[in-house]
Amino acid sequence: LDMPLQWRVDQANWYHRNFKKGVFVSSHANASGNHRARGFEVYTSPGTTRSDRLAELLWEQVEGLLGDRIRMRSDTSDGDHDKEARFFVLTKTLMPAILIEHLFFDQPDDARLLMDEEVVERFAEAQVRAILRFAG
């Protein structure tokens, strides 16, 4: 089931307005035109926001749990590992928001990793740890 981006943002913002807490996590697997790109990425909106802290915590957890098995793709030009983009779900949400690209499903080595139960569990564990530390 694919819900429209506006609906996702509206739901998240409703929760934030009513409960004054929460984070928005958009979880994906990437693809590239040449089928050769590999690796993990995390995105935040441009500029320095609380989202950057959440993204950095996630980066640290993924690197610690999977850094020896996957490629870590980053942009450290602004002092942190996340990439910045004006994705709708990152710029229209009221709470800290990150968009995660868990490897490239159209690249054979990454695709094998995405089908490995241990890798998937470690990605999930990294997300939980990062959110708990962020909320902590």
* pLDDT for residue 59 is more than 90: yes
Average pLDDT over residues 16-44: 96
Count of domains for the chain:
1
* pLDDT for residue 16 is more than 90: yes
User: Is residue 125 domain-resident?
Assistant: yes
Cβ atoms of 5 and 11 within 8 Å: the answer is: no
User: Is residue 80 domain-resident?
Assistant: yes
User: Is residue 14 domain-resident?
Assistant: no
User: Is residue 70 domain-resident?
Assistant: yes
User: Is residue 11 domain-resident?
Assistant: no
User: Is residue 69 domain-resident?
Assistant: yes
Cβ atoms of 46 and 75 within 8 Å: the answer is: no
User: Is residue 1 domain-resident?
Assistant: no
User: Is residue 18 domain-resident?
Assistant: no
Q: Give tens-digit pLDDT for 98-135.
A: 999 999 999 999 999 999 999 999 999 999 999 999 99
Q: What percent of the chain has pLDDT over 90?
A: 97
**pLDDT value at position 65?**
98
* pLDDT for residue 3 is more than 90: yes
The CATH number for 81's domain is: 3.40.630.40
**Residue-averaged pLDDT of the chain:** 97
**pLDDT value at position 80?**
92
**pLDDT value at position 1?**
79
Please give the residue range of the domain that contains residue 101: 23-135
Q: Give tens-digit pLDDT for 72-88.
A: 999 999 999 999 999 99
**pLDDT value at position 42?**
98
Cβ atoms of 116 and 103 within 8 Å: the answer is: no
Query: What is the DSSP track for the chain?
Result: ----HHHHHHHHHHHHHHHS---EEEEEEE--TTS----EEEEE-SS--HHHHHHHHHHHHHHHHHTTTS-B----TTSSS-EE---HHHHS-SS-EEEEEEEETTSHHHHHHHT-HHHHHHHHHHHHHHHHHHH-
